[in-house]
Structure 1
């Protein structure tokens, strides 16, 4: 799946499908923190997109459209977030939307230190080293590193 195709536009209009896009690594936070956060947003009437167990090619286009059509994005950065190229690609798209039109990004550092994300240390350093050792992502790792630095800097 070529995620670069979907990364060309980011909505800057006031016409939103969602108030919040919730980005998270399911195995880390789905049945605890993220579920509680989603429930709280729902109870307040805040229309929130979260990707549930959807698979296949159409996921990327659905996901990227939802990012583009969301007013703000909550990124839950957890222990294993960076272990998945999928979530790192999603983060790149999120940061592109921030840079293209000022989309509001709210990072939540769930049991991780923002400086570990920013400086690629701890779990984040290990994950990126693993991706690079596999040598299958090529140019993507540089974009992932830039997106992680940028989202880590939002905590300052």
Structure 2
């Protein structure tokens, strides 16, 4: 009987990655099928949030800055990886995790202060620090709220997940 090693089985699986790809890029599987890992998008990124991630494919990291949706990554890409910029850049929305200082009773609104779209509000409660509330209709997923968060409590999820 021929058994396939579980690690070898993973080699052939097509599991969707949790990586955040550049704005306007095609789905993750299409992206990794087409991307040549030339790094042109990484070099073109004005806020330096694109880096070489798992497998050498471009990924977004909001730890230091935000996406300005300048479209330079799409403009320099020699491959057909990007959709027309008339589409929304992505389905990403900010999500506040339990490590948020407000959930620990500390008054902090650094994410709200950084959000130009005013997608982050705070709900007051008697005797408690106000808790963050994300308006997903206003959130562009730009990541501006992530870098100033002192506890890295903001993650980004795609609405289609």
* Fold match by TM threshold 0.5: no
Structure with bigger gyration radius = 2
More helix by share: 1
Q: Give TM-score scaled by structure 1 length.
A: 0.23
Q: Give TM-score scaled by structure 2 length.
A: 0.23
